[in-house]
Amino acid sequence: MAGCGTTLPYDVSGYETRCVRLNREPIPPHKDDRHHGYKNVYACHVDREELRANHRPFPEGTLIVKESRRPNEPFVWLIALARKHGGAWTWDEYTRNFSDDDLHEGFASSDVCTSCHADARADDFIFTRYQGE
């Protein structure tokens, strides 16, 4: 991802081509959307057939990458990460304000992420399901 600098973890680079995009079309913003914008969600380190079958829970080592673009802006302003380790998710956010800025780690606490994603508890805390290619 051009312009991201070294602020993103090394294993996130290239997620757009090496991971599976879960949504067919960008997910539009909605009321009370913490990650405001049009979103794409990718699953990494998961067997494609398991994703197609929408099997949950996700396996150990899964990395979920959510990118968001604000309306009328062509660049990714937010990358939200969910990593599955020890049967639980850890969360990180990276944001920027301008296309030529690097993405920098955000200020949201893990508690904020976990409490929001609790609404998707039945789907292993991940809202987006595989929608096909």
Give 4-33 pLDDT, tens digit per residue: 444 788 899 999 999 999 999 999 988 877
pLDDT at 31: 81
Beta strands in the chain (DSSP E): 20-21, 38-44, 63-69, 78-85, 88-95, 104-105
Tell me the pTM: 0.89
The terminus-to-terminus CA distance of the chain in angstroms comes to 22
Backbone angles phi, psi at 68, to 5 degrees: -135, 135
- Which of 16-20, 41-45, 129-133 shows the lowest per-residue confidence on average (mean pLDDT)? 129-133
Express each pLDDT in 66-102 by its tens digit.
Answer: 999 999 999 999 999 999 999 999 999 999 999 999 8
